[in-house]
Amino acid sequence: MLDLSPLAIWRRSAFSRVIDAERRMRQSATTTARVVCIASGKGGTGKSVVATNLAVLRAQRGERVLLIDFDAGLANDHLLLGLAPPFDLGHVIEGRATVAEAMVEGPGGLRLLSGGVGRHVLAHPTRREFERLLKALRPLEDEFDLIIVDHGAGIGYTTVTHLCAATTLLLVTSHEVTALSDAYAVYKRAVMVNPSLHVGVVFNRVPDADSADSAWERLRGVCRKFLGRQPELVGFVPADSAVPRSVDLRAPVSLVEPNSLAAQSLLSVSRWPQLDTARSVEPFYERALKALH
């Protein structure tokens, strides 16, 4: 006999709410974008070259890709892609443009949200301004397959907020001692705020294979010694004159010299399996908003 008592009805209602919530979370996990953060410890590692080429290469695979240049007022992804956006994230924060108005189309059909140049509001947003920006970005997860967030060098609070919400971080460094030290600092901070974060490392502009291997052994060794864990080695990108030529042309090296050593190495990086699974059950920007508070 069906129990129609108020307590039984309440229990069935509560159970239904739980089931509905789990169903929504499963649907979200398969429909919202995968989000990958790209960061480096110090400037000059070529992080933005990696980010822009990665975005182009994934877009060429038929994915709907959004590249967000979150460098704090020193953005240059638009230059590397040959674009001149009329608006940037600073305008979005100030309410002078919507996210849709700030997005521009780039090579391969990717979309770019530029961080702007010399934009103090993005370099030092208040928590309220940053919260407003995160809320404005949240709907984008329903429009794209992959969102790549290109962070500025260092570990400011906006970067840390992103890392708290992320499932995947691609750490770009070079073989130099100072770059390795700063990369370790970013890795340490990242796994401290988000122990489940999957971190991959790309060594960029390395002069030869021996230098790359030596740099990896040093970084891996110090991570294992002091943190008891290590990032995943994703690949090496050699120093290649094709890259500065592509920068001068304001076009990704993967497009203008696809057969160059650098372009082939970047193609290998773009096939990192983690890029296909960088999705959490809860939408990224909802997690970021919670981390902010």
Instruction: Tell me, yes or no, if the pTM score tops 0.85.
Output: yes
Q: What is the DSSP string of the chain?
A: ----SHHHHHHHHHHHHHHHHHHHHHHHHHHSPEEEEEE-SSTTS-HHHHHHHHHHHHHHTT--EEEEEE-SSB--HHHHTT---S--HHHHHHTSS-HHHH-EE-GGG-EEE---BS-HHHHS--HHHHHHHHHHHGGGGGT-SEEEEEEPSS--HHHHHHHHH-SEEEEEE-SSHHHHHHHHHHHHHHHHH-TT-EEEEEEEEESSHHHHHHHHHHHHHHHHHHHS---EEEEEEE--THHHHHHHHTS-HHHHSTTSHHHHHHHHHTT-GGGGT---SS-HHHHHHHHH-
Co-location of 3 and 78 in the same domain: no
Co-location of 75 and 113 in the same domain: yes
Place 31 in a pLDDT band, splitting at 50, 70 and 90: low
Co-location of 16 and 111 in the same domain: no
Number of structural domains the chain divides into: 2
Co-location of 14 and 58 in the same domain: no
Co-location of 167 and 223 in the same domain: yes
The boundaries of the domain holding residue 247 are 33-292
What confidence tens digit (pLDDT) does each residue in 52-66 have? Answer: 999 999 999 999 999
pLDDT confidence of residue 7 = 47
Co-location of 186 and 224 in the same domain: yes
Co-location of 132 and 95 in the same domain: yes
What confidence tens digit (pLDDT) does each residue in 96-105 have? Answer: 999 999 999 9
Ranking 87-96, 180-189, 256-265 by mean pLDDT, the lowest is 87-96
CATH of the domain at 84: 3.40.50.300
Co-location of 114 and 5 in the same domain: no
Co-location of 127 and 254 in the same domain: yes
Co-location of 9 and 111 in the same domain: no
